[in-house]
Amino acid sequence: MVPAELPEPVAGPGQVVFKLRAASLNFRDLLMVEGRYNPRQPLPLIPLSDGVGEVTAIGAGVSRVKVGDKIAGNFSQKWISGEPARAKLSASLGGPIDGMLAESRVLDQEGVVHVPEHLTDEEAATLPCAGLTAWNALINTGRLKPGEVVLLQGTGGVSIFALQFAKAAGARVIITSSSDEKLERTKALGADEVINYKTTAEWDKRAKELTAGVGADHIIEVGGAGTFNKSLRAIRIGGRISVIGNLSGNVTEVNLISILMQNICVQGMLVGNRDGFEAMNRAIALHRIRPVIDRVFSFDEAPEAFKYMSSGSHFGKICIRF
Amino acid sequence: MVPAELPEPVAGPGQVVFKLRAASLNFRDLLMVEGRYNPRQPLPLIPLSDGVGEVTAIGAGVSRVKVGDKIAGNFSQKWISGEPARAKLSASLGGPIDGMLAESRVLDQEGVVHVPEHLTDEEAATLPCAGLTAWNALINTGRLKPGEVVLLQGTGGVSIFALQFAKAAGARVIITSSSDEKLERTKALGADEVINYKTTAEWDKRAKELTAGVGADHIIEVGGAGTFNKSLRAIRIGGRISVIGNLSGNVTEVNLISILMQNICVQGMLVGNRDGFEAMNRAIALHRIRPVIDRVFSFDEAPEAFKYMSSGSHFGKICIRF
Amino acid sequence: MVPAELPEPVAGPGQVVFKLRAASLNFRDLLMVEGRYNPRQPLPLIPLSDGVGEVTAIGAGVSRVKVGDKIAGNFSQKWISGEPARAKLSASLGGPIDGMLAESRVLDQEGVVHVPEHLTDEEAATLPCAGLTAWNALINTGRLKPGEVVLLQGTGGVSIFALQFAKAAGARVIITSSSDEKLERTKALGADEVINYKTTAEWDKRAKELTAGVGADHIIEVGGAGTFNKSLRAIRIGGRISVIGNLSGNVTEVNLISILMQNICVQGMLVGNRDGFEAMNRAIALHRIRPVIDRVFSFDEAPEAFKYMSSGSHFGKICIRF
Amino acid sequence: MVPAELPEPVAGPGQVVFKLRAASLNFRDLLMVEGRYNPRQPLPLIPLSDGVGEVTAIGAGVSRVKVGDKIAGNFSQKWISGEPARAKLSASLGGPIDGMLAESRVLDQEGVVHVPEHLTDEEAATLPCAGLTAWNALINTGRLKPGEVVLLQGTGGVSIFALQFAKAAGARVIITSSSDEKLERTKALGADEVINYKTTAEWDKRAKELTAGVGADHIIEVGGAGTFNKSLRAIRIGGRISVIGNLSGNVTEVNLISILMQNICVQGMLVGNRDGFEAMNRAIALHRIRPVIDRVFSFDEAPEAFKYMSSGSHFGKICIRF
């Protein structure tokens, strides 16, 4: 990762130029800058999918935003609405197209959204990837109903957003962590039950107990290889496991019989479309939800921010202030 | 498997007694009689989930059928409608509750359906497990649309039903087999494209080619461990893999990244509810669909029928005539 | 309405006898006892669809409840799960089959549910008709998402339940009434915005203003002829109007162009199935929701209770204690 | 309607210029040129939403089409995917933005689709409005299943497309007309049952009889005021009425009780999004569906074409060849 002097972007027809104010980091960005992201992205590349900025210029025909507006870019620039498809997923910020670790950026007006007014720039900058992924999994695709049970793994960005959205949607939340202190913090955010998976290694059994033997309605699977089979045991018949990330590795042995005999839906979950981003923002505004930020770095400290992320000790999001 | 003399069943309130005319075999039944089914079922047990009979007596309050009607039992006797749940799945015919390899049986009126009139007894007897599983996967849950691409594996009972229902729903069908002769027969049933997976081992790549690089919209996964990872490569972004059976084993290494990055839905698929059975029968009647029967055995030849099934050379269903 | 001495009910196979503790009134019951309900129901008939009681006896094979349990009957005794159909709707409590204004009743175990433990008998007795209708409209069928806008009409039983469920689901609620005092009470229950339709006759325009010109996502239409056309103007493009009741008459002139050009869904809404009742109870328990009771009458005051209902001045539900 | 000399359009970034080959007329176009369309559209305006042309130039960044491709414009130029919303519906061809009765037109690449190769230019030109409306109603929104019953009114463009798509989706079709000769032609196109509403004025009762008293699963309501209440009597409990047009007027008395007590969904139906257009085209190609054209006029005969449409005697679509 090296700094570069780039020309000031210009707003073509339908385009929006904005000056970055804050950005946030995702695990995907870490893989990207370490060259471990698969598939490999073309270089050079401005990293970071998530950022918020102020509009400084608009091109001909732009009607969705005006100069001075606070906006964020949608992760998948061409996924505006509806179901995903290859073409709609071909233009993700931070790879393959340039991301937000820049002074100014230009995007198509269809690919940007206004951010909720009650949020700081750093808070707003956490929404595009982790926030929308959690929303897409639980609300847009998962259609969570009040009273349903959501099981969350750990206290990373997606899990904490999922906790906040699940509570806003009236669900009951069970969350795991290896740290009692972090679990206490999730309780303050509304978690109904917590499981320390270091002291309760069989968290799947504990989740079943907490649900009268039924299992969770919805699990946000962020662990991957290390947790997936436990998730298959913690879910209810007919339940849904949204596969978000693979923090503990990708390849695992799966007993397909577990999926079959329990009528489970294992749903791969990409970030989400722009319409979903706007729907999420409306809910965030109504509920005055504040994204949880672990630590804020300055623009020049970006390398330290990535290093901190790789330590894995954060609770919520890591941000960069411009 | 030993024959037993059982008392003639009596129709209690809301119950229906019927004399069996024909039955059909499923792979599950084979596992059951060989004691390989997991979980183990209580013994003694009358095997076979699938059968058709003629009503000989009805209990007080029965309004859904009358004496003389031709009926079949729904696989899950307590799954009448809606989503599955543990209690609704607790009473499957042929284990844990008695099945159809009997002279007469008694069932609750809510658990039986009329069979399409244009079918022979043997044809009608093939519907409850394999037929309804295919219907539930493609139509009820999968909501197949005209023009969508369905990829089917092999020529067993579920796959052949899936072929027939997919064509009735206006989809395009690609089907695999190791036998050119069987593939020819699938063409006669409407298959649009065929792949011999012995001569084209990379059938996943071939399926992608046949869909202009997009992949299939829906795959009915019957192979299990031996085919699942190929299915993950043959499906389109946002597509659906219905996990039905595990003919080639249960446990396989899965790269969760494939599920995640393509937004795939892997959906475990139990047989289906009674309302679905009736909806399926309506479609079968309208389209004059005739289930494909490979071979019919007599009641006394039941052991031979199971042996024949274990040979795996059948095309469509194996039946027993009473 | 005359009192009658009936034999003590007996629990046949699969049946449950329970002693009534409390009941509640719905507008439908009023029409029923006044002989104005269409279609006319066979007489004699025990009125009231809604009641809660304690199980005193169970028949053979009953596993869903045990003696001593507190239960309510599902409005549609045969609509257990899934979509409605004529046969499933053929057995509603309080007409055509006997209702709850009785000392004891017997029902099939599939038609009863446990009530939330934190509720009084009277509170629990309000759930079967008004509660489940609101749940079915907003949550089960309407799939409300956090941040969506729900517009409610008046402060009758269904509207107040809808307010409570909409808030539990994270929606924003706009509610109308002719009484500022009642509107204040809805605010205490969580209403985000209120409209006095006496002082603001054009409440449809006001609702549009409150939603930045977009309109409500979901309207629960209880007024019927007097309000439907205003609802068509207050709803957003692609929004949903659940038609629940017709307090101000049934027949109205409708401009179909409004439905067409705004892609509106006008959805008739029957009460709901038993699975939905259980899902609702789970949410009520989690959120410690307490149904709003206007007034409680004794068993002997039942005629007064009906008279009070016809006055239309209540806020929430009218109950009877046994 | 007067001819005008317009400058040759130029392809800006992301834009496509195409030379028109054929167009088709819809009832909406007739209202438009007669100045009866509500809301009134700004003038001058090039009429006709439906046309097909050959790409003659593409702007910078265009990847969806290339010069020489045969394309059609999507009715709602900004409704690419997902649910409708005001902004997405703000740019319909033929009003408020210019339509297809022109030598050449320029559109954004996101708003055009390739047409099925087996179609003539005239046939392809019938798809954008009437075709996609029928598809959106039955397939995309209606999720038609094999064996379901679709009731269609008359033999105009939408109804004939609906007939073709319903048959492709495996449904059973009942269709009405005042002409036995037209009904014969619908039979040749696959209609299962026909009703002459001149000789059988109570076609709603007849439809109920033909469905064993149950009613149709889905009705495409094109008549409006003159037919809507009959549709309410011909639909099944829980069925869906898609409100498409209002040929016989807009305002009618509706008994809301009919909607409520039968749990009916009355769904206003706008044309459809671009993704749906592409999905429809895939089905049309697979099934080799050929749109039904009543008569083709030359470009100069456009006024006669409109006059012919207003006579209402057509079967299928009226086209213009360039």
In this prediction the ipTM stands at: 0.96
Cβ count within 10 A of residue A80 = 22
Candidate from C170, C284, C287 with C-beta closest to A287: C170
CA A261 from chain center: how many Å? 31
- Residue A129 C-alpha, separation from nearest chain B C-alpha, in angstroms: 14
pLDDT (average), residues B150-166 = 96
Measured between beta carbons, the chain D residues lying within 8 angstroms of C244 are: 260
pLDDT (average), residues C100-128 = 97
Question: A320 with A296: CB under 8 angstroms?
Answer: yes
Same domain, D262 and D276: no
| Residue A276: DSSP 8-state | H
Amino acid at C127: L
What chains are in contact with C, requiring at least 3 Cβ pairs below 8 Å? A, B, D
pLDDT at D44: 86
Candidate from C244, C250, C255 with C-beta closest to D255: C250
pLDDT (average), residues A117-135 = 98
Check which CATH number belongs to the domain holding C254 and give it.
Answer: 3.40.50.720
Cα–Cα distance measured from residue D136 to residue D148, given in angstroms and rounded to the nearest whole number: 17
Measured between beta carbons, the chain C residues lying within 8 angstroms of D266 are: 259, 265-267
What is the residue range of A305's domain? 15-130+272-321
C212 touches chain D (CB under 8 A): no
pLDDT at D211: 98
- Residue B83 C-alpha, separation from nearest chain A C-alpha, in angstroms: 7
D3: pLDDT strictly greater than 90: no
Measured between beta carbons, the chain A residues lying within 8 angstroms of B238 are: 83-85
- Residue D203 C-alpha, separation from nearest chain C C-alpha, in angstroms: 21
Q: Which of B118, B145, B163, B237 best tests the D interface by mutation, with the highest count of D CBs <10 A? A: B145
Buried b / exposed e over B159-174, threshold 16 CB at 10 Å, is bbbbbbbbbbbbbbbb
Q: What are phi and psi of B231, to 5 degrees?
A: -60, -40
Q: What are phi and psi of C56, to 5 degrees?
A: -110, -20
Q: Could you tell me which residues come within 8 angstroms of residue C283 by beta carbon, excluding any fewer than 6 positions away?
A: A145, A146, A147, A170, C135, C139, C165, C168, C289
CA-CA-CA-CA torsion for C67, C68, C71, C77, nearest 10 degrees? 20
> pLDDT digit string (tens) for D192-221?
999 999 999 999 999 999 999 999 999 999
Same domain, D146 and D246: yes
Cα–Cα distance measured from residue C292 to residue C278, given in angstroms and rounded to the nearest whole number: 19
Write out the two tokens for B285: 């009647």
Question: Tokens 């907490």 label which residue?
Answer: A210
Confidence band of A248 (pLDDT split at 50, 70, 90):
low
pLDDT at D226: 84
pLDDT (average), residues C229-241 = 97
Percent of chain A topping pLDDT 70? 99
Question: C260 with D245: CB under 8 angstroms?
Answer: yes
Same domain, C231 and C164: yes
pLDDT at B251: 84
| Residue C223: DSSP 8-state | S
Nearest CA in chain A to B238: A84
Candidate from D140, D170, D172 with C-beta closest to B170: D170
Same domain, D146 and D264: yes
A169 touches chain C (CB under 8 A): yes
Using the 3D structure, point to which of D226, D245, D268 is the last residue of a domain.
D268
A239: pLDDT strictly greater than 90: yes
Nearest CA in chain C to B273: C82
Nearest CA in chain C to A147: C283
Percent of chain D topping pLDDT 90? 85
D174: pLDDT strictly greater than 80: yes
Cα–Cα distance measured from residue C291 to residue D224, given in angstroms and rounded to the nearest whole number: 41
Whether A4 maps to a domain, the answer reads: no
C252 touches chain D (CB under 8 A): yes
Amino acid at D127: L
Test C283 with A165 for CB contact under 8 angstroms.
Answer: no
Task: Please name which of B144, B126, B139 lies closest in space to residue B50, comparing C-alpha atoms.
Answer: B126
In order of B49, B115, C51, the CA distances from B58 in angstroms are 21, 17, 33
Question: A104 with A19: CB under 8 angstroms?
Answer: yes
Cα–Cα distance measured from residue C265 to residue C251, given in angstroms and rounded to the nearest whole number: 19
Question: B245 with B220: CB under 8 angstroms?
Answer: no
pLDDT at C247: 67
Whether D10 maps to a domain, the answer reads: no
Cα–Cα distance measured from residue D163 to residue D158, given in angstroms and rounded to the nearest whole number: 9
Whether D244 maps to a domain, the answer reads: yes
Using the 3D structure, point to which of C268, C292, C311 is the last residue of a domain.
C268
> pLDDT digit string (tens) for C173-218?
999 999 999 999 999 999 999 999 999 999 999 999 999 999 999 9
Candidate from D12, D85, D275 with C-beta closest to A82: D275
Question: A177 with A191: CB under 8 angstroms?
Answer: no
Write out the two tokens for D86: 């005001």
Q: What is the sign, positive or negative, of the torsion defined by CA atoms of D74, D79, D80, D81?
A: negative
Percent of chain D topping pLDDT 70? 99
Strands (E), D101-246: 104-108, 112-114, 149-153, 172-177, 193-196, 216-221, 235-243
Whether C5 maps to a domain, the answer reads: no
Give the per-residue SS3 of chain B: CCCCCCCCCCCCCCEEEEEEEEEECCHHHHHHHCCCCCCCCCCCCCCCCEEEEEEEEECCCCCCCCCCCEEEECCECCCCCCCCCCHHHCCEECCCECCCCCCEEEEEHHHEEECCCCCCHHHHHCHHHHHHHHHHHHHHHCCCCCCCEEEEECCCHHHHHHHHHHHHCCCEEEEEECCHHHHHHHHHCCCCEEEECCCCCCHHHHHHHHCCCCCEEEEEECCHHHCHHHHHHHEEEEEEEEECCCCCCCEEEEEHHHHHHCCCEEEECCCCCHHHHHHHHHHHHHCCCCCCEEEEEEHHHHHHHHHHHHHCCCCCEEEEEC
Q: Which of C136, C260, C267 best tests the D interface by mutation, with the highest count of D CBs <10 A? A: C260
Measured between beta carbons, the chain B residues lying within 8 angstroms of D113 are: none
C31 touches chain D (CB under 8 A): no
Cα–Cα distance measured from residue A124 to residue A126, given in angstroms and rounded to the nearest whole number: 5
| Residue C76: DSSP 8-state | B
Test D80 with A83 for CB contact under 8 angstroms.
Answer: no
D34: pLDDT strictly greater than 90: no
A187 touches chain C (CB under 8 A): no
Q: What is the sign, positive or negative, of the torsion defined by CA atoms of D83, D288, D67, B236?
A: positive
> pLDDT digit string (tens) for C123-147?
999 999 999 999 999 999 999 999 9
Measured between beta carbons, the chain D residues lying within 8 angstroms of B284 are: 147
Task: For chain A, state the CA radius of gyration.
Answer: 19
pLDDT at B225: 84
pLDDT at D4: 81
Whether D2 maps to a domain, the answer reads: no
Helices (H) and strands (E) in chain C, counts: 10, 14
Test C146 with A285 for CB contact under 8 angstroms.
Answer: no
Check which CATH number belongs to the domain holding C111 and give it.
Answer: 3.90.180.10
D285 touches chain C (CB under 8 A): no
C81: three-class secondary structure by DSSP: coil
Q: What are phi and psi of A176, to 5 degrees?
A: -110, 155
Same domain, A263 and A276: no
> pLDDT digit string (tens) for A172-196?
999 999 999 999 999 999 999 999 9
A254 touches chain B (CB under 8 A): yes
Task: Please name which of A294, A31, A278 lies closest in space to residue A159, comparing C-alpha atoms.
Answer: A294
Write out the two tokens for A103: 């002074």
What chains are in contact with B, requiring at least 3 Cβ pairs below 8 Å? A, C, D
Same domain, A54 and A147: no
A-D Cβ pairs (cutoff 8 Å, strict): 27
Measured between beta carbons, the chain B residues lying within 8 angstroms of C88 are: 81
- Residue A81 C-alpha, separation from nearest chain D C-alpha, in angstroms: 5
How many structural domains compose chain A?
2
pLDDT at B223: 84
Cα–Cα distance measured from residue D101 to residue D302, given in angstroms and rounded to the nearest whole number: 9
A47: three-class secondary structure by DSSP: coil
Confidence band of C101 (pLDDT split at 50, 70, 90):
very high
Q: What is the sign, positive or negative, of the torsion defined by CA atoms of D93, D99, D100, D103?
A: negative
Question: B286 with B83: CB under 8 angstroms?
Answer: no
Residue D42's Cβ-side half-sphere holds a number of Cα atoms within 13 Å equal to 7
Measured between beta carbons, the chain D residues lying within 8 angstroms of B113 are: none
Same domain, D284 and D298: yes
- Residue D30 C-alpha, separation from nearest chain C C-alpha, in angstroms: 17
A81 touches chain D (CB under 8 A): yes
pLDDT (average), residues B96-125 = 97
pLDDT (average), residues B193-202 = 97
Same domain, B65 and B38: yes
Cα–Cα distance measured from residue D260 to residue C137, given in angstroms and rounded to the nearest whole number: 12
Question: A239 with A267: CB under 8 angstroms?
Answer: no
Test B256 with A257 for CB contact under 8 angstroms.
Answer: no
Name the helix (H) or strand (E) containing C56: strand C50-58
Q: Could you tell me which residues come within 8 angstroms of residue A3 by beta carbon, excluding any fewer than 6 positions away?
A: none
Whether B2 maps to a domain, the answer reads: no
Taking phi over 0 as left and psi of -120 to 50 as alpha, with beta for the rest, B130 belongs to: alpha
Q: Which of C64, C80, C277 best tests the B interface by mutation, with the highest count of B CBs <10 A? A: C80
Whether B10 maps to a domain, the answer reads: no
Q: Strand C317-321 to strand C15-24: parallel, antiparallel, or no bridges (unpaired)?
A: antiparallel
Same domain, D118 and D42: yes
Task: Please name which of B165, B212, B210 lies closest in space to residue B190, comparing C-alpha atoms.
Answer: B165
Candidate from C139, C147, C192 with C-beta closest to A146: C139
C261 touches chain D (CB under 8 A): yes
Same domain, D49 and D161: no
pLDDT at C37: 84
pLDDT at B134: 98
Measured between beta carbons, the chain B residues lying within 8 angstroms of A89 are: 237
Question: C310 with C284: CB under 8 angstroms?
Answer: no
Burial class (CB in 10 A: 0-12, 13-18, 19+), B42: exposed
Measured between beta carbons, the chain B residues lying within 8 angstroms of D140 are: 145
Same domain, C75 and C159: no
D255 touches chain C (CB under 8 A): yes
Nearest CA in chain C to A288: C147
Measured between beta carbons, the chain D residues lying within 8 angstroms of C224 are: 256
What chains are in contact with D, requiring at least 3 Cβ pairs below 8 Å? A, B, C
Test C266 with D267 for CB contact under 8 angstroms.
Answer: yes
B81 touches chain A (CB under 8 A): no
Q: Which of D141, D145, D286 best tests the B interface by mutation, with the highest count of B CBs <10 A? A: D145
Measured between beta carbons, the chain C residues lying within 8 angstroms of D86 are: 214, 237
Strands (E), C227-288: 235-243, 251-255, 265-268
**Peptide bond preceding B9: is omega within 30 degrees of 0, i.e. cis?**
no
Q: pLDDT: is B98 or B251 the higher one?
A: B98
Q: What are phi and psi of D160, to 5 degrees?
A: -70, -40
> pLDDT digit string (tens) for C302-312?
999 999 998 87
pLDDT at D247: 67
Using the 3D structure, point to which of A238, A253, A268 is the last residue of a domain.
A268
Whether C78 maps to a domain, the answer reads: yes
pLDDT at D70: 98
pLDDT at B247: 67
Same domain, A110 and A160: no
pLDDT at D248: 67
Task: Please name which of D209, D216, D205, D241 lies closest in space to residue D150, comparing C-alpha atoms.
Answer: D216
> pLDDT digit string (tens) for A194-219?
999 999 999 999 999 999 999 999 99
Measured between beta carbons, the chain C residues lying within 8 angstroms of A170 are: 168-170, 283, 286-287
Cβ count within 10 A of residue C22 = 25
B172: pLDDT strictly greater than 80: yes
